[in-house]
């Protein structure tokens, strides 16, 4: 006869729950950065704003005091600044370049990661260059992604995070960083990124929806768990320092498979915008807001996440401040 472990006593349950704890060091805050000195609420993402570069220090100060240790930056520019070459991505006027410098000057202890992709800056909204038929021009796109990575690293980024899903871009980025002597800059690859329906609010935030077609030809098919493991294998071979599964909440099986396959690598998991909105909407109606939010991130941790990228980070840090810095179920 099999005997199931007893969990009737609260202490017994707490011992089991201790296997899944989230601390401030596990969390990475995504930030949408715009030029200037104003904040713009994002209608489709309650509680999230685009933050003007001039307001970043005042925005981050209370969060750093609560234990915030890492951020992931996304630049947002006006439509008139976008072009086919995605020139605004890493120009001197780029909000990301300005934000990196400011954060590293004001909070040197905070790890700064920069998303590296052309879609936020391209006039057609795609993650790479396209030809007149709308087909991705792989080699030229990879060169641009590597150049962006180098310029973000030169500005002071600790981590560059290519989210474009172009083949062979990790090797190109690592080579470009070495050539510039930027060997301490880590590469966090969006190694396992699916063509999900959960990105809508993010595209509103970055104003980055593709103007034609979709991204299915370079993002992974949602049913392809094995393919997600293969792309992680590829990026490990090319030199990625950190792997990522995106989305997270809907792909916990993939999170576990990638972590089991590469246990010696850090694994980031992105609780994406659509997942954030779904969890938040239910949490607000449930009467158990904090419990629902905590369970959503603990599930990512339990599945294998070392780094949790979540828009809930400010609220989670506040909760942690009342729980001795640790959240568990």
Residue owning tokens 């009342």 = 322
Q: From CA 140, how far away is CA 142, in angstroms rounded?
A: 6
Residues marked active site are found at 193, 246
Q: Is the dihedral of CA 51, 100, 128, 88 positive or negative?
A: positive
Over its C-alpha atoms, the chain yields an Rg (Å, rounded) of 20
Contact 48, 311 (CB under 8 A): yes
Give the span between the Cα atoms of 110 and 119, in whole angstroms: 26
Give the C-alpha separation, 219 to 310, whole Å. 21
């Amino acid at each position: 006869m099999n005997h199931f472990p007893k969990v009737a006593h609260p202490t017994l349950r707490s011992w089991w729950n201790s296997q899944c704890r989230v601390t401030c060091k596990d969390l990475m805050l995504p930030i949408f950065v715009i030029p200037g000195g104003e904040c713009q609420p994002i209608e489709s993402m309650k509680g999230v704003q685009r933050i003007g570069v001039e307001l970043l220090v005042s925005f981050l100060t209370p969060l750093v005091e609560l234990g915030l240790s890492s951020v992931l930056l996304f630049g947002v520019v006006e439509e008139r600044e976008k072009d086919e070459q995605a020139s605004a991505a890493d120009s001197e006027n780029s909000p990301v370049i300005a934000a990196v410098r400011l954060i590293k000057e004001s909070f040197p202890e905070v790890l700064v990661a920069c998303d590296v992709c052309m879609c936020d800056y391209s006039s057609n909204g795609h993650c790479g260059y396209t030809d007149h038929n709308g087909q991705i021009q792989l080699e030229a796109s990879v060169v641009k992604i590597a150049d962006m990575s180098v310029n973000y690293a030169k500005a002071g980024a600790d981590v560059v995070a290519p989210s474009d899903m172009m083949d062979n871009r990790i090797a190109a980025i690592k080579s470009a960083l070495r050539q510039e002597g930027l060997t301490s800059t880590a590469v966090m690859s969006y190694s396992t990124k699916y063509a999900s329906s959960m990105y809508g609010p993010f595209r509103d935030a970055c104003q980055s929806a593709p103007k034609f077609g979709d991204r299915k030809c370079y993002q992974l098919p949602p049913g392809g768990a094995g393919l997600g493991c293969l792309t992680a294998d590829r990026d490990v071979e090319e030199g990625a320092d950190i792997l990522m599964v995106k989305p997270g909440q809907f792909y916990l099986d993939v999170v576990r498979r990638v972590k089991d396959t590469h246990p010696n690598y850090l694994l980031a998991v992105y609780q994406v915008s659509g997942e954030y909105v779904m969890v938040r909407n239910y949490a607000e109606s449930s009467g158990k807001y904090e419990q629902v939010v905590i369970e959503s991130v603990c599930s990512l941790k339990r599945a294998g996440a070392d780094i949790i990228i979540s828009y809930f980070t400010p609220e989670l840090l506040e909760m942690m401040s009342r729980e001795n810095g640790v959240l568990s179920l």
